[in-house]
Chain A
Amino acid sequence: MIPLIYILISAVAMISIGIAAIGIERNFITIMLAVELIFMASTIIFVGFFDYSTAPGPWAFVGIFSIWSVAAVEIIALISFYVYMKAKGFDFDVGILSRFKW
């Protein structure tokens, strides 16, 4: 059985990478990819604690399914936004996006 600390270290490493990328990156798409990494790390933590739970309930599966749904919706919404912005000829720099008005 994998020790829980190993699972937590790998998940925390992914979350750290994602948070650092959100703070450093200026490209909107890569920021959204960083958010995907954080979602992925959260599922790893979820499954790790599920493994070590003595009496896990069916809500564990619902929780993972919810995380997946939000992550998938984020990707799909990201693609729509990407195509929209490309069609409008805008740059993906966050500094420029913050001045963008609908």
Chain B
Amino acid sequence: MYDIILFVIASAIMVLSGIAIFYQKSIMRAVVALTIAFTASSFIFFILGQNFIALLQLFIFVGGMSTYLIVAVSSEYKKINKIEFSAICAIALMIGLGFLLILTGVQFSTATTQVSMSTFFVDVFQSYYPIIFAAIIMLFLVAMGSVIVIRRFVKLSS
């Protein structure tokens, strides 16, 4: 019962922040709302008992992608450095709290037969490592290409 209440609260936060994205006039605030939605989805994974997936969601989306979006988008607005700083601090706080929850090993799910995805990671890494490496290399190349494009056009525009 306790985990269902937490799930409903996390889902409500996720849906409300998902709606809030499209009511913001500033793209920067929309990105912050998307970050809150990502964090709520990570908490949902945690409530479902998939701690490993929750941790990866926090690191990849909240920690990596949202910070990347905020820094890139906020570079266009010179007057809102305080908002940028507070947004990044809020993201760091979310990651810290999520990491703390996962490290404490609190399990909201009461299922005894539940299989954790982390147990599959070794099998997956042994069997399907070419796919995982291909995805990682694709991400890395796209990120590097993005940095090169950003540097080139920022130089052109300045």
Contacts and interface: CB of A to CB of B under 8 A. Distances in A.
B157 A21 contact: no
Contacts of B45: 44, 47
Given A37-B37, A50-B117, A80-B150, A2 B7 contact: yes
Interface string A65-102: 11011011101111110111011100000000000000
Nearest to A17: B18
A84 B147 CA distance: 11
Nearest to B18: A17
A58 B146 contact: no
A6 B60 contact: no
Interface residues on B, range: 35 or more
A47 B50 contact: yes
B146 A76 contact: yes
Given A79-B146, A82-B72, A87-B156, A72 B65 contact: yes
A44 B44 contact: yes
Nearest to B123: A58
Tell me the dominant secondary structure on chain A's binding face.
helix
Given A33-B30, A40-B41, A58-B127, A14 B142 contact: no
B135 A65 contact: yes
Given A2-B4, A40-B38, A75-B65, A80 B15 contact: no
Among A17, A43, A83, A86, find the residue whose CB has the most chain B CB atoms closer than 10 A. A83
B149 A84 contact: yes
Nearest to B114: A51
Among A6, A48, A51, A75, find the residue whose CB has the most chain B CB atoms closer than 10 A. A75
A51 B153 CA distance: 46
A1 B22 CA distance: 33
B23 to A, nearest CB: 10
Interface of A: 1-3, 6-7, 9-10, 13-14, 17-18, 21, 24-25, 27, 29-30, 33-34, 36-37, 40, 43-44, 47-48, 50-51, 56, 58-62, 64-66, 68-69, 71-73, 75-80, 82-84, 86-88
Interface of B: 3-4, 7-8, 11, 14-15, 18-19, 21-22, 27, 30-31, 34, 37-38, 41, 44-45, 47-50, 53, 56-57, 60-61, 64-65, 68-69, 72-73, 76, 109-111, 114-115, 117, 120-121, 123-124, 127-128, 131-132, 135, 138-139, 142-143, 145-146, 149-150, 153-154, 156-157
